[in-house]
Structure 1
């Protein structure tokens, strides 16, 4: 089939009109809700529309981060699951919508993910350092080559098959983690652990248990950021993380690397965000360098899985330990002083016997998603530029 040349602004609607009623609560998507390189986004909640102050969209639209570093990190998603089919979100989104008979909504999403749109958008960024934004007029006037709509749908269906598998695995990961968290709450919050009927509980602490500061039961490495001259995105050195930008459901993805090895986190360490959003947690998949926004935590007793779920339960709400006038943050002293309930070795081993197999399943599903993502990302640019015919 033939491909035609057209500007992106004529191919897709950019910042389309959406009518919202003032004073009405709608689904709201903030930047933190968008997981890099993940197709669908789940609204974090609802907010009241006040007649201005946010990008507006409907189910099926694509939202595209226009601000650094979110654009470079791949924060682009297809909107779904909106209450009443419409909502609003961060002002830092461009919104793209298909034109009837001209462009397929799924194809627009993948086009926005491809270098065809991303690279001109990134090159167009202007503004103060750290707050640079892509220019709408440049994105609108970007010249693209696209096939007829039937072929667009075919291309989108091929790429969607990968994303469907990835998101199915993500749902399985979430269900597995929820089951482990529920078990933790049953045993260590509601104190209905095996044999609880025969144990005396005083002030919420069973006999033989105690509350200890995190600094006494775990080794904690506070991150420290090397100078930016040592950063790269070419894979030189070790992966570098200094915030939650590339955090996933359980494991972070790597985008930035660093050749100056300063503060290190080892595989299996718990990554803990000490700056906004305080308390967000991931697990280190391989050796990384950590910057000042993160801490790495490792159990001194070999009960890393137990410690992970204890921290997840303690920080069930992000910023619960937050302090500071501008950005929520916790100090090294705050983190070392976080009190956690420590069970008996016997109960801890029984809990670990349940959750270690769950965590291994989660790790395998994550590895499967890594492979699916790599395969999809190899295909995506080649399908979008017509190099591979379908």
Structure 2
């Protein structure tokens, strides 16, 4: 360590402000978000499943609003016996000022002397997983639940280079994080584009309405409001290329099974006509690994609310693996179990990504789609499994109370509208180009994340020095 670096307690230049102890009666269904311990993830704030309070209560406790760039830490959680401990997690708010408040046992670092300590540097210094375990080691409580106080956090020793070097280190790591976040946002936009296309073509039937209006065909009463919205778009209503637009019908028929109007000539089929859903393998718990391995058991925790793959909460495996349960890139999975009260991810789909050096494994309680024919493509099925109608069926028919379950039979009994094959092929072609771009971004995210995680410990230890 170079001589100008020094070891100091965090409390020398910063203090930890705990969140407000909101009462249970303060919380309501909607309003101003309140971040709880579980919302402090590794490196980021995830406000899914957060609490809410009224604007009046928020105004009374406005000093607990989080500002852009604030660094938060979880102060209560599972202890050393848990492989994914919650206590000691550090995250940074990258949104705007006053997006949300913090609940009790969520701490916020307040810098006392900005001429000595850079907040961004503090964030990166405390971010690594091994640093979290150092907090777990000094926490008090039982093996299953521990607490760490503001005083304990403030007494934690950190290594500080000169301020300008702190800022340079934070800038390097922050630039990588910014690029990672930009790629994630791009992927979210690409996903939204594909979902919007599916909804337009196969849920709202916009192209069929356009053709019916052009042909002067009657519009069913149930669809007249949509037709008026299409007309109101005027020049903004951009038609598809003529050869594709002409593939869509120009009239509707009423379908008794779905109790709704569908395009004439399109059929209603069960998902079972196109696919089977295969159960995953019950991998043995004795071979689960706390240490990362190249084999990852996918679980319901790897599914996003609304559909899609989530690359965290990995469960590593170090044992024998049946070859039939090694997944391939773009395999389509469906989650069949959910631990949340609302069944947040139950029944949602995800495509298996390609990650260099990693094998993803088909674990139990996940269904793998196996195709019987090519009448519908993977993207058409994927977005069908994201619709509200499908979602209502799956959640409505779920078994269990604390843990909700669905089954291949329930998934495959879902009815979908089957368009002409050429229309589905055009949709698949368009969506595949979006999926390819998403995959390219994911690969870049992986590379940038590896670079950041390699540089971070070297920069904050002084092993690699930077010019400033």
Are 1:58 and 1:86, in contact at CA under 8 Å, matched by a contact in 2? Answer: yes
Are 1:220 and 1:297, in contact at CA under 8 Å, matched by a contact in 2? Answer: yes
Matches within 5 A, 1:97-112: 97-101=110-114, 102-112=116-126
Is residue 388 from structure 1 mapped to residue 432 from structure 2 by the alignment? no
| 1:325-378 deviations in Å (ceiling 9; x for gaps) | 223332443333333333221110111121111111111011111101100110
Residue 257 of structure 1 corresponds to 316
Counterpart secondary structure, 2:102 = strand
Question: How far apart, in 1, do the equivalents of 2:163 and 2:48 lie?
Answer: 29
| 1:112-160 deviations in Å (ceiling 9; x for gaps) | 212563231344577777x544634654443221224332222111100
- How many residues end up aligned between the 2 structures? 385
The alpha carbon displacement at 1:318 in A equals 12
- 1:62 aligned to which of 71, 88, 97: 71
Matches within 5 A, 1:70-149: 70-71=84-85, 76-81=90-95, 84=98, 86-88=100-102, 93-101=106-114, 102-115=116-129, 117-123=131-137, 132-133=145-146, 135-136=148-149, 139-149=153-163
The alpha carbon displacement at 1:381 in A equals 0.9
The alpha carbon displacement at 1:299 in A equals 4.0
Counterpart secondary structure, 1:375 = helix
The alpha carbon displacement at 1:181 in A equals 0.7
Residue 210 of structure 1 corresponds to 267
- 2:431 aligned to which of 338, 355, 375: 355
Question: How far apart, in 1, do the equivalents of 2:158 and 2:437 lie?
Answer: 42
Structure 2 residues without counterparts, runs of 5 or longer: 59-63, 208-244, 256-260
Residue 362 of structure 2 corresponds to 290
The worse-fitting range, judged by mean Cα deviation, of 357-366 and 131-140 is: 131-140
The worse-fitting range, judged by mean Cα deviation, of 185-194 and 9-18 is: 9-18
Residue 165 of structure 1 corresponds to 179
Are 1:7 and 1:140, in contact at CA under 8 Å, matched by a contact in 2? Answer: yes
Counterpart secondary structure, 1:212 = strand
Residue 164 of structure 2 corresponds to 150
> What TM-score results when the alignment is normalised by the length of structure 2?
0.69
Are 2:302 and 2:309, in contact at CA under 8 Å, matched by a contact in 1? Answer: no
Residue 334 of structure 2 corresponds to 272
Residue 378 of structure 2 corresponds to 304
Are 1:114 and 1:384, in contact at CA under 8 Å, matched by a contact in 2? Answer: no
Closer/same/farther in 2, CA of residues 217 and 110 from structure 1, 3 Å limit: same
Are 1:41 and 1:80, in contact at CA under 8 Å, matched by a contact in 2? Answer: no
The alpha carbon displacement at 1:162 in A equals 0.3
The alpha carbon displacement at 1:103 in A equals 2.9
> What TM-score results when the alignment is normalised by the length of structure 1?
0.81
The worse-fitting range, judged by mean Cα deviation, of 139-148 and 305-314 is: 139-148
Question: How far apart, in 2, do the equivalents of 1:385 and 1:353 lie?
Answer: 49
Alpha-carbon RMSD: 3.9
